[in-house]
Amino acid sequence: MRAAYLYGHQDLRIEDVPEPEPGPGQVKIRNAYTGICGSDLHRYFAPRGAPTRLPDPHPLTGATLPQVLGHEFSGTVVQLGGGVDSVAVGDRVAVWPVYYCGKCAACRKGTVNACRSVGFHGLSSDGGGLAEYTTVPADMLHRLPDSVDLRLGALVEPMAVAWHAVGISGIHPPQTALISGAGPIGIGLWFALRARGVETVVASEPSLTRRAVLQALGARHVVDPASGRLAAAVEEATEGAGVEVAFDAAGAAAAILPVLELLAPGGRLVVVALHEAKAELNLSVLVQAEISMLGAMTSLPRDFDAVITAMADGHYDTTGWVDEIGLDETVSAIGRLRSGSAVKTLVHL
C-alpha cells in the first residue's frame, strides 16, 4: 500500500509499504478521506534538530519516526482482529484517534483527552490516516449513518474538537460568543454554537478568504481585526454588554489578548488553539471583570457521537471551505495551508 511517512523537518515521503494486519481487539480500515490538520503542520515544520514528536518513542504506543501522518480520517472496515464483535466488515466509520494511559489523574477523572501521556493515531502511533489502510483498536470507531458520507466523516474529528470546546464553555442561548480565528476549528466552533442554539456570534479573522467562507455559511458578524472595528462590532452585536464567551482558535497572542477586554463581566475565554509562542497576560484584566480562562484539549467519544448526530441533522456544510487532493499532492497542500491560501484539505485515499 502507499502511505505518507514523516521522517523529520520538511521530510514527508510517499512510500510503498506492506499492508498492516489487525491484532486482537483491532480493526483494519480502508481509509477514504483524511484531513491535514494544524498539528500535522507543526510536526512538518518543526525546526531542524528539534524533536518532531515528543517524546520519541511514545510512552503508550512505542512509536518512533518515521510516522504515518493523519489523525482526522474516515474509512470502511475491511477486516476484524480476534475478539472484535462491536463492528462488522463493511461498516463506514470515523475514528476517535486518542490513546490514553487510563491511570493518571486525568484518566481517573474521566478526562482521558487530557491524559498526561496522550497520543494520537496518525501523530504518535503505528499507522495513520494518510495511508491506504490502517489498523486501530475497535473502541476508537464510530459508525456513520447513511446520511453522513465518508467525506463528511473525515471532518468529525476537528468538528468534535470544536464541539468539546463549546460544551465545556457552558454557553447557552441567548448568550453571545466571539470566535477569534476562522480556520477549520473556528468554523467548527461556529457550526457547534449554531447547532446549540447560540445565535449571536462575532468572528474575528484577518484572512479575506476565511472571512468570506464564514459569511457564505451564514455568519452575520465577521470582522477583520486589523480594521480596528472589532470592539465596535461586539458592542453593536451585544448592545454594549460584551460577549459572554470568547474562543481562541487563532493560536496567537496578538489575536486573543485584545478579546479579553470585549468579554462581559464574568465572561469566559476558552483556549482551543495551540500556541507556539509564550503570551504575556495582564492578569488584572481577569481580576477586574472576574473573567475565567479555560483550556480545551481535543475531544471525548461523546463529542464524536454528538457531532455525527448533528451532521445527520444537517447542521454542517462543507461548501466553499473544504478542498480534495490525492496522496501525491500532500506536501504541496501543506504549503498552501501554511500560507493561508487554503482552509481545509482532505486527502482522498
- How many independent structural domains does the chain possess? 2
Whether residue 303 lies inside any domain: the answer is: no
pLDDT digits (tens, 9 = 90+) for 293-314: 999 999 999 999 999 999 999 9
Residues 43 and 111 occupy one common structural domain = yes
For residue 71, the domain's CATH number is: 3.90.180.10
pTM score, two decimals? 0.95
Whether residue 300 lies inside any domain: the answer is: no
Residues 148 and 209 occupy one common structural domain = no
Residues 170 and 280 occupy one common structural domain = yes
> Closest Cα partner for 331 from 140, 130, 134?
130
**Can you give the pLDDT at residue 277?**
76
Pairing label, strands 2-8, 98-99:
unpaired
Residues 199 and 76 occupy one common structural domain = no
Whether residue 328 lies inside any domain: the answer is: yes
C-alpha cell at 75: 474509512
Pairing label, strands 2-8, 11-16:
antiparallel
| Backbone φ and ψ of 102, nearest 5° | 80, 0
The single residue listed with the C-alpha cell 511514545 is 58
Residues 261 and 334 occupy one common structural domain = no
The single residue listed with the C-alpha cell 476549528 is 185
Residues 171 and 77 occupy one common structural domain = no
Q: What is the span of the domain harbouring residue 136?
A: 2-155+318-348
Residues 180 and 200 occupy one common structural domain = yes
For residue 197, the domain's CATH number is: 3.40.50.720
pLDDT digits (tens, 9 = 90+) for 93-145: 999 999 999 999 999 999 999 999 999 999 999 999 999 999 999 999 999 99
